[in-house]
Structure 1
Amino acid sequence: MALPHTLRSFRHDNVLARQVEVAVAARPSATLVAVRPAPEPGATTRVLFTADSLGESERLAVFVDPGTGSVVGELVTYGSSGVLPLRTVLDQVHANLLLGEFGRGYSELAASWLWVVASGGLVLWFARRRAARPKPAVRRHAVLGLWVLVGAVFLSATGLTWSKYAGENVADLRATFGWTTPALSMTGSGDHAGHTSGTPTGLVVLVVLGYRMWWQRRPTRGFGRPVPRGQWRKVPRAQLVVVLVVAAGVGWFVPLFGLSLLGFLVVDALLARRTAKPAPEPSEQPV
């Protein structure tokens, strides 16, 4: 059986070429997209195909024994790197919380704001540290925050590459600069290869401590005051223009961030307008 046109790159390796030929013969109606040679003795070569019966981002992996040159099994995998079922579940949790399109949008919204919230917490910590010595609970929260800041930004960035709206802009950017992955891969590199799924332990601890600090210092207990409205008017005009331009650019590239930020500003403006309305004059009582 002659090898398909896409297998010419394997002709220098007759052993690998024969393995791919066997896999193609087992699935003649499928389309070959990638090959992952056996990484170590005793492992199998993974030959990946696409087919009309598969879902979005799913691949059919045909496993070939390099020693015998025979097919030992098939499995539906995920992504161009052929992620196995357990890893697929973890990837789906990271991508859409197993909630489909709704979860994908929610995950993208969270990833859009994660780096903003994390960076804002760092700025507030430095400002408080300069003003006064922070309390032990604040110091613990800050130390954990510093450790997970880099990881949180990385988690946010990688999450956005998988997202529906920002992900399309990332894909366009990669295509423009030639950063796309080749369609046929021998090393197993793909859109999600090497990515660590799941939430670091939170980041979870940091979030819990943050809620605990807020509960202990919430305004109803007299520890804080709401930020007065109109503080943005005190920002120098040049800096304000820079902030607006940057926010507009980020909002265009990360649409859910831009839309949610615009929604917050509209709601805040409406609340400010409602608060600024003068109280109605008391009606005169009849004598």
Structure 2
Amino acid sequence: MSVDTPARESAPPTIPKPGLWAALRPLALRLHFYAGVLVAPLLFVAALTGLLYALSFQAENILYRHELRVPVGESAKPLTAQVAAAKEAHPEGEVTAVWPAPEQGATTRVLMRAPGLADDESLAVFVDPYTTDVRGALTSTGSSGALPLRSWLSSLHADLQLGELGRNYSEMAASWLWIVALGGLALWIGRRRRMRLLRPERGATGRRRTLSWHGSVGLWAVTGLVLLSATGLTWSRYAGENIAELKDRLGGATPTVAAATAGGLGGAGHEHHEGMAMPGAAPSALTLDQVAATARDQGVRASIQISLPGAGKGFVVRERDTEFPVHLDAVAVDPADGRVMDVLRFADYPLLAQLTRFGIDAHMGVFLGLPNQLALAALALALMALIVWGYRMWWQRGPVRGRAPGRPQPRGAWRRVPLPALAALAAVTLVVGWFVPLLGIGLVAFLGVDALLGLPARRKGKAAS
């Protein structure tokens, strides 16, 4: 005999809840789309001008070869004689610093304050160290000593030759570059089951082929692009102030050598050398050669710059070798008696200050020399290609060839994000938007544009209901 058991009702199949990334992906797609369409023109300009700047180092060596290079002679003349030759050729200038020839065949650069130049500009007089012949004079800008070509391209990259107003363009580009790069990285890795990551897909056509190149090249370039964004923001107008304040609070401020003198300069019984101090300072008892020798005794000898003493300050001798392994030590020398007042070793910089210096020098193309400049050029070319591919994909998403390009991810993507994650995302966005102001302003602008574009759809929805 068998007992019939009632059949159990089968439980309805459970639908797995989508993961966090599945909820965030539509939001990331929409942000990546708007940032790509609206900010990409600024990024393209920054990449193009950055490419020109990266190539300017080698162009500068060719264009200004007469001023920079000389035939090697038997022995170099004293620095005092070289400075005297520069002053004789340009009596209108006031000597502020001297860059002795860093190697055989290079000229000595005498920097002067001259009428008609900006605060960050100097008249650089190039002197043959073997004959004291003046080879020429050019305007030099900044601590790196950029000559006219590189200086002009640097300003074009930073502010489009528009001054303070133009700096907003480069800061906006730097503020959004890391967002676009990291967002694109997340979106590309999210497709790992369907497409290759490290190289373009063979045999793909149409939009899939464009996406394959866009994603693969972006993956190779993302680290460099994020570093360019971070280092570019360090000397930006608004975010740069916040970064500097944060760095100071974390103990990462860049130290300076103590060059203040205790009392008056010079004294009875010393021979004074005219012009070995800037206006407002007492004449020094030392020659530049003596100052350079004192610096060498302290280990400060690689590509040095000798800054003349100002009012209440001594000589400052700094190394300028920013190419890794860097030599950036400095020493202060008392103009009265040649006493070493202070020595500052780059090894004693706070770690954060060292990393900041490395990052800025890498951004400027001087940290690793020619390989650094070639890497910057490659990143610039990659970024321009990524932007072109991005616009091409936008056009290829159009429903019919020849009509309007494709639309972004549908609105309301944020509603799919779990509330805790959405709250955390909103908090992080507010903090980052405050710390990087032009990023925050851009986000508000995107929201405004999106709301305006969505008005017709809302009106149609209300009319239909």
| Superposition TM-score, scaled by structure 2 size | 0.48
SS of the aligned residue for 1:128 comes to coil
Higher mean C-alpha deviation, range 79-88 or range 97-106: 97-106
Q: Deviations over 1:188-237 (max 9, x none)?
A: 65987561377722422222122222211235679976423222233233
In the alignment, structure 1 residue 186 sits paired with structure 2 residue 322: no
Q: Distance in 2 between matches of 1:241 and 1:31?
A: 59
Q: Which amino acid aligns with 2:253?
A: G
Q: Structure 1 residues 255 and 219 mapped into 2: Cα distance closer, same or farther (>3 Å)?
A: farther
The correspondence for 1:167, drawn from 240, 249, 254, is 240
Q: Deviations over 1:79-107 (max 9, x none)?
A: 11210112112212211233444432222
Q: Structure 1 residues 178 and 130 mapped into 2: Cα distance closer, same or farther (>3 Å)?
A: same
Ranges in structure 2 where 5+ consecutive residues have no aligned partner? 1-76, 202-207, 258-306, 308-315, 323-327, 329-356, 366-375
Contact kept in structure 1, 2:195 and 2:212, CA below 8 Å: no
Partner of 1:10: none
Q: Structure 1 residues 181 and 109 mapped into 2: Cα distance closer, same or farther (>3 Å)?
A: farther
Partner of 2:228: 155
The correspondence for 2:398, drawn from 201, 218, 238, is 218
The number of aligned residues is 268
Alignment of 1:90-105 (within 5 A): 90-105=153-168
User: Considering only CA atoms, is the larger Rg found in Structure 1 or Structure 2?
Assistant: 2
SS of the aligned residue for 1:75 comes to strand
Query: What's the offset of the Cα at 1:245?
Result: 3.0
Ranges in structure 1 where 5+ consecutive residues have no aligned partner? 1-13, 283-287
Q: Deviations over 1:156-183 (max 9, x none)?
A: 2343344332333344455552226778
RMSD: 3.8
Q: Structure 1 residues 200 and 270 mapped into 2: Cα distance closer, same or farther (>3 Å)?
A: closer
Q: Which amino acid aligns with 2:443?
A: L
The correspondence for 1:123, drawn from 149, 161, 186, is 186
Q: Distance in 1 between matches of 2:246 and 2:86?
A: 35
Partner of 1:87: 150
The correspondence for 1:63, drawn from 102, 119, 126, is 126
In the alignment, structure 1 residue 247 sits paired with structure 2 residue 320: no
| Superposition TM-score, scaled by structure 1 size | 0.73
Partner of 2:304: none
Partner of 1:204: 384
Q: Structure 1 residues 175 and 125 mapped into 2: Cα distance closer, same or farther (>3 Å)?
A: same
Query: What's the offset of the Cα at 1:49?
Result: 4.1
Identity of aligned residues (%): 49
Higher mean C-alpha deviation, range 138-147 or range 263-272: 263-272
SS of the aligned residue for 1:67 comes to coil
SS of the aligned residue for 2:409 comes to coil
Query: What's the offset of the Cα at 1:261?
Result: 1.0
Query: What's the offset of the Cα at 1:117?
Result: 1.0
Q: Structure 1 residues 51 and 243 mapped into 2: Cα distance closer, same or farther (>3 Å)?
A: farther
